[in-house]
Amino acid sequence: MGLLTGRVAIVTGASKGIGRVISHVFASEGARVVCAARSRALVEETAAEIRRSGGAAIPVTADLTNEADVRTLVETAVREFGSLDCLVNNAGDSGPTKPVQEYPLDDWLSTINSCLTTTYLCTRFAVPAMIAAGRGAIVNISSMAGKRGLPYRIGYCAAKAGQIGITSGLAGELGRHNITVNAVAPGAVEGDRIDRVIAAQAELRGISADQQRNTFLDRAPLRRMTRPDDIARMAAFLCSDHARNVSGQCIAVNAGEPT
């Protein structure tokens, strides 16, 4: 049996990157997965990949900043799979890499909404279903940028710090319902997103991309970046019975970077 056999999980931002990997890992651990994202084609592809591998998954196309869409997402999970046990709040845009004096308000609001409003709405509508199920686990995918900041990335830093605050508050609120709430704070994660951030920061600082990449690696004693599956495995653990007494925590997955 897998870590999550018998559980139903919603994974947001499941169309690509970390969210797609989380969806696959949860399915491989026995969960029935509701894959949610804005891109219909990509989220359907994620669910189809899981089904071809023998797992159970359905896609839901949703704007997770829209109350009606989020309500429908949760209702779909319960209708199709009978309950809701796990929620992984992974959705969120990375926002621009710009000095504060050049940081547009529209970009600020977009980044905050994509990370924080989605976390709030998905949790708000998921909690009643978890209470009905008698258990629940919520995992918010934050970032080390929310713990120690990152120059030229104020919107992203603020949004990810907010997710850590939401985690702490909700853990105290929901514990009496047998619902755990935790955050995962990845360090630099291998993939296209960090490559774009590195290139933009290098340009602003007037250094090479390799030099900027080394500033990330120098923070980590293991001298490597985090892989998406490292994050997915931690999220799966936090949604399993092995973590039933872990709540209100922000767990760094960052190759040993001091927190």
pLDDT tens digits for range 127-171: 999 999 999 999 999 999 999 888 999 999 999 999 999 999 999
**pLDDT for residue 219:** 85
Taking residues 57-73, report their average pLDDT: 98
Q: Is the pLDDT of residue 259 over 80?
A: no
Q: Is the pLDDT of residue 94 over 80?
A: yes
The pLDDT confidence band at residue 34, using thresholds 50, 70 and 90, is very high
Which range is least confidently modeled, 53-67, 212-226, 237-251? 212-226
Q: Is the pLDDT of residue 202 over 90?
A: no
Distance CA 173, CA 167 (A): 10
Is the model more confident about 138 or about 206? 138
Share of the chain above pLDDT 70, in %: 100
Element (H, E) at 153: none
The distance from CA 142 to its chain's CA centroid, rounded to whole angstroms, is 6
The pLDDT confidence band at residue 257, using thresholds 50, 70 and 90, is confident
The pLDDT confidence band at residue 181, using thresholds 50, 70 and 90, is very high
Q: CATH topology for 8-189+228-253?
A: Rossmann fold (3.40.50)
* 226 three-state secondary structure: strand
Known catalytic membership, residue 156: yes
* 37 three-state secondary structure: strand
The distance from CA 145 to its chain's CA centroid, rounded to whole angstroms, is 14
The pLDDT confidence band at residue 188, using thresholds 50, 70 and 90, is confident
